[in-house]
Amino acid sequence: MMVNSVSIMDRKYLNKKGLCEYLGVSIGKVEKMMYDEGLRYVKFGRNVRFDVDDVNDYMNRYKIS
């Protein structure tokens, strides 16, 4: 039996748990980024998804040269 395993790095959209794994942070930090720091997300019903491109743009805004 073959299992369809897609790595976090290959996804276009991530849920909160996937974003935590992608960034190496806690759920609390992700929620702070969402509600206090302007991280863009898509919400439909109770589901929240993050576009990886938006996450990378957000991270680049905080990059120190």
Task: Give the pLDDT confidence of 17-42 residue by residue, as tens digits.
Answer: 999 999 999 999 999 999 999 999 99
pLDDT at 20: 97
Q: Which domain holds residue 49?
A: 11-61
Domain-located, residue 2: no
- Number of folded domains in the chain? 1
Domain-located, residue 39: yes
| 28 and 36 Cβ atoms separated by less than 8 Å | no
Instruction: Name the 3-class secondary structure at 54.
Output: helix
Give the rounded distance of the alpha carbon of 35 from its chain centre.
13
| 59 and 49 Cβ atoms separated by less than 8 Å | no
Average predicted confidence (pLDDT) for the chain:
90
Q: What is the CATH number of the domain that holds 35?
A: 1.10.10
Domain-located, residue 40: yes
Domain-located, residue 32: yes
